Structure 1
Amino acid sequence: MPREANSKSNDIENKSMESSTMYKLISENARDLILIASEDLIIEYVNKKSLYKLGGYSVDEVLGKRALNFIHIDDAKNALIKFYKAFNTEGRGTIEARIKHKDGHFVHVEINGSLFHNEKGVSKALLITRDITDRKNAEKDILEENKKLLELSQIKNELIATTSHELKTPLNSIYAASQFLLSNLKDQIGEDALKFVEMIHRGGQKLKLLIENLLDTSKIESENISLHLQRENILELTTNCINDIKYWADKRNINIVVDHPKQMHVLVDRIKIEQVITNLLSNAIKFTLPKGEIHVRIYEEDHWVNISVKDDGIGLTKKEIKNLFKKFGKIDHFGNGFDVESDGTGLGLFISKEIVVLHSGEILVESKGRNKGSNFTIRLPIL
């Protein structure tokens, strides 16, 4: 019996030594720096190869020293607080810090620390340290590139705003002059000259819209757009918009039907919300066949006022819906009556969405596909 007991004891001891040798072999050949420290972070073990590769130190130069002595002074306090907090709660934690190389420069590292108890029940800290210099350099490069892109974007927005304002003054004169001729002297203008005046007026109208869209986009991107909120009658706003675009609807023989069960008032910027409603109505007219119908419905639902514009026109594919509210998110259109005033900047819906979002609202769109119509709904909170 004593021989059997001694044999079992020797087997256990041998297996323990084998395990210890194996763990040491794994540790010494690991790419990461592995440290074992006391609970107050005095270094008791470190793998030799990784220590020299990462920090340039020999084992004797770090054993018995505090791990925090090798961490950048600006990172040491934060590291200590985080590790002690982690050790006292979950038993593990991760930090990023800079450790001092023997030659004086600092290396960016990620330290994964965990608390364990040795065979005597004494608390120890296992600190696995990985060099993340390449990652930090890449992050720095990305931040610098983003800064440059932001500066370029600001320059672009300033250029667009300045150029648009410079163009606006002469354009307003041309547009106003053509409007005056068409409104007051139409009967005195010859037929050929009248065609040119109408052409100038339509061109001025398109340029005016383009400049306004560019200015709005510039303001949105530079977060320089503000709202002038007042309680407004939403039916009155919608009716004004319908009257503004009625000429184009009549030209295509499109009937606009309005459904409004009751008067509703909402806190909005009147000019901007009229801009959104007009844009949705204009799009519905563009992409609805002649003799078609557009339904405008105003209704209240779950503390929201909804203005829906539904048409029976060209409809939208899933891909088009996905890109619809992006800048320059124009959709394809194909003859068959869809070619009247269908050219645009592709900025209208982008601007409309941003305006509605500024009102803490949203724009929803539904369509069952090509040639099955579409339904756009503006949702505004009742405040």
Structure 2
Amino acid sequence: MASTILCAVRTSFSVLRPLQTCHSPSMLPLQNARYLPILVNLTDIRFSSFFKRLPADRLWESVGGVSNAGRKKGRGRGRKRKVDLHIGQILGDGQQQMVWPGLNAPVMKGKKLLNVESLPPNPDRKEQIQKVRDRFQRSRHIKIPALQRGWTGRRMPGMSIGPPDPLDDFTFEGFDTRVLELKTVSNMTATLGRKQSYSAFVVTGNKNGLAGFAKGRSASAKDALRKAKNKAALRLRYIERFEDHTLWHNIFCQYYAVKIFAKKRPKGFGLRCHRVLKTICQVIGIENMYAKVDSHSKNTQCITKAFFDGLLKQETHQELADRMNMHLVELRNEREYFPNVVASPSDGKILDVSPVNVDLDFSQLYYGGKRQLQKKKSRSNDNKNPLMRRKLWLNYKNRNQYQSRLDRIVLGFEEPGNQQHK
């Protein structure tokens, strides 16, 4: 930066020879000295580097910035945030403590005019500035109780967002809404380009058999959750429960590639299933159940639709007895397997002969001929043996078929081909 200033320089008559001639400058009297204006060019010398060429925002962006492509993939969540270095700084206050009247101190103190003076150094200056920065910049995280948190950390899936909004004069008292999925989606438009929005998938229920699920989209996550919650309140369905704690029977449900094997369990068993199914059961009011999700366990929407479809297709014991025209008998170990008739046909018509090619096992009746794969515990020592590995490879196609073949022979579906099955 160059600047031109006007200053006065004292010169003698010996310098200005056109004005007067003198034999010796020392003989020049002092009163004859003159002050003439001259032009002086001053240049501001400054060390150039990118710290002085770029503003603070650009420097912080170079340290913790994330590209647009990386931001879409969810990167940069743990990057270091910007620090405002001006917080805690006072104008006129530095490492060298000084009194500047009119800047960091009053000009007059009583009738006395203050002067510029130095003060003793403050050893706690850096600690005080850091304390002020921490108080203003550190966000206060509200601790969420363990029972109100989501599935993973502080993310929304699994969290409760309260009951739906009142509809006219009806208030959804006793209802609870849980978030199953919250994600960002994008749509390519002709005018705005790629437009991003939020998609929320929730389930709501009163923990007494009444539940529904829905999906909502909006430009903000809060509006998407509100839309999905209110839409789910308009799609409620009642689900029958056995003794208000479990399923009526074992069910197999499938939606596209998602397959679910769900089994009824006694009181005290709890919920041992996928986290999406566990959240749905808590909203519905199912307390005891075992379920296994085969393939595509990350597709939340398909899991929810398949499970609701299986729950709505349940049959009560009386409906099963009326459909089969047979008695439904329960055999329990604690009763020494004494037959207990649970349900009988309403019209009294009972089949004299058992139906052919029908599996009358209550635990397998609703599986549609499908069986859940029961994996055996691997024996690592045997797998290292080459002969054992060849045997396992030859028997791989017949895995899990021994018990199934015994069941077919007992029911008369297959003739015993080997003496060991008799």
Q: Which has the higher helix share?
A: 1
Smaller-chain TM-score range? under 0.3
**What is the TM-score of this pair, normalised by structure 1?**
0.19
Q: Which has the higher contact order (CA 8 A, sep 6+)?
A: 1
Asked which structure has the greater CA Rg, the reply is 2
